[in-house]
Amino acid sequence: MLREFVIACVLATPVCAFAFTGNDLNKLCTKTDPNSRTACAAYIEGAADGIYNTIEAIGGTSGPQVGQYFCLPADVKPQQLTDAVRKYIANNPDKADFNATTMVSLGLGKAFPCKAER
């Protein structure tokens, strides 16, 4: 009986997972209540940290590496990150349906590009 229930639940589950898009992130970030503002900043900081750690795992972040999208200054503020991502989404509406983490990468890359090593 339990086996049939599990199979029925699996079959009833949607095939594609919900995707949090750049549009969704922008809607969250435009809200003015404290919880939404905190969630927006936390998502962007978390995505940036995840991207950074992924880059570190594939070759380092000491300079422009293959796949490195952005280089954040040591003194960057969370609001600067949020502003950069929201500006990128606003200026690129054709990409707003991309995954939100992709939009974080692209927005931070535009605002905080890596300087070429010499």
List the CATH number of the domain containing 87.
Answer: 1.10.890
Q: How far apart are CA 103 and CA 26, in angstroms?
A: 10
Type of residue found at 73: P
Name which residue leads in pLDDT, 67 or 105: 105
Domain extent for 60 = 22-111
* β partners of residue 21: 99
Per-residue pLDDT band for 51 (boundaries 50, 70, 90) equals: confident
Name which residue leads in pLDDT, 63 or 103: 103
Domain membership of residue 13 (yes or no) is no
- Res 117: pLDDT: 54
Determine the average pLDDT of the residues in 78-90: 95
Domain membership of residue 67 (yes or no) is yes
Nearest in space to 52 (alpha carbons), one of 62, 40, 42: 62
Query: Does the reported pTM lie above 0.85?
Result: no
104, burial (CB in 10 Å: exposed 0-12, middle 13-18, buried 19+): buried
The DSSP secondary-structure symbol of 77 reads -
- Res 65: pLDDT: 46
| Number of structural domains in the chain | 1
Q: How far apart are CA 107 and CA 101, in angstroms?
A: 10
Per-residue pLDDT band for 22 (boundaries 50, 70, 90) equals: very high
Domain membership of residue 62 (yes or no) is yes
